[in-house]
Amino acid sequence: MKKGCRWWWVLCCMVVGSAQAQTITGRQDVVPPFTQKNKVNPGLSVEITRAAFESQGHSLKVRLVDWPEAMKLVKDAEVDILLGAWYTPDRSVLFKFSKHYYLNRMKLIHLKGTKFEYNGFTSLQDKKIAVIEDYGYSEEFSSSTLFTRVVGRDLTENLKKLQRGEVDLVIADEQVAQHKIRNNNFKASNFVFSKKNIFVNPLHICISYRNKKHKILIRDFNRGLKAIKADGTYAKIIEKYQ
């Protein structure tokens, strides 16, 4: 290859490479240990998403806001991605989802001293269960008429409702609930988690179909996720937040 052609080829590669590298914007609500306001330990979801994208040459900027705001910003393509979302048929119309990067194990929580053990939906007959609005629970849970869903603003509010006797049960991801109880002046011994999962929800990133980059960013995240699993980065992040 002639010297002039060689330099032209190098320049073209540099231009293409810089065009592909992107600063990706993300939003999510505060849900420790998945997302939290801590620069050293920003959360499992933040670290996995950042590592996956960085392995593909991208950078990630994250801001934590209320869940409705995060959803709206991403839906309107003002921000690129939601860092942690569950798949639902309704959401799939609006968002393209990545491969899942974690599994949320959903448990039922009741007060110590009350007799309850989850053994299928029939064991929920006539119960009042505290839920969080627009949180993408399973279709079976969301449509069941066996029990009453009592909507709360967040998990803290729902745990307080349980303490006051306003509900019989709270549904929550086990890790999130344990973190919330430990760090919000709740007495851990007052709460009992069901032994069985009520369901398991795969956790994804997602991006609006209105975002012109949706195919490329989901492709790159999926590739990056595979890469960080292969090189051990993923396992180290998971271990950090156990």
Among 7-16, 35-44, 228-237, the minimum mean pLDDT is found in 7-16
Contacts for 18 with CB less than 8 Å, ≥ 6 apart: none
Question: Which candidate, 88, 50, 91, 87, places its Cα nearest to that of 221?
Answer: 50
| Residues 110, 168 contacting (CB under 8 angstroms) | yes
Average pLDDT on 157-185 reads 95
Q: For 180-231, how does the pLDDT look when each residue is reduced to its tens digit (9 = 90+)?
A: 999 888 999 999 999 999 999 999 999 999 999 999 999 999 999 999 999 9
Average pLDDT on 46-63 reads 98
pTM: 0.83
Q: For 58-85, how does the pLDDT look when each residue is reduced to its tens digit (9 = 90+)?
A: 999 999 999 889 999 999 999 999 999 9
pLDDT band with cut points at 50, 70 and 90 for residue 18: very low
Q: For 87-117, how does the pLDDT look when each residue is reduced to its tens digit (9 = 90+)?
A: 999 999 999 999 999 999 999 999 999 999 9
195-219 burial string, b = 16+ CB within 10 Å, else e?
Answer: eeebeebebbbbbbeebebbeebbe
Mean model confidence pLDDT for the chain: 91
Helices (H), ranges, the chain: 3-20, 44-54, 67-75, 89-94, 139-143, 155-163, 174-183, 214-230, 233-240
The whole-number pLDDT of residue 36 equals 95
Question: Which candidate, 89, 163, 100, 165, places its Cα nearest to that of 127?
Answer: 165
The whole-number pLDDT of residue 4 equals 46
Q: Indicate whether 14 pLDDT > 70.
A: no
Q: Indicate whether 141 pLDDT > 60.
A: yes
Average pLDDT on 155-178 reads 96
* Cα–Cα distance measured from residue 179 to residue 193, given in angstroms and rounded to the nearest whole number: 13
- 195, two tokens: 């032994």
Q: Indicate whether 3 pLDDT > 50.
A: no
- Can you list the domains of the chain with their CATH numbers? 16-102+203-240 (3.40.190.10), 104-200 (3.40.190.10)
The whole-number pLDDT of residue 2 equals 46
The whole-number pLDDT of residue 1 equals 47
Tell me what percent of the residues of the chain surpass a pLDDT of 70. 92
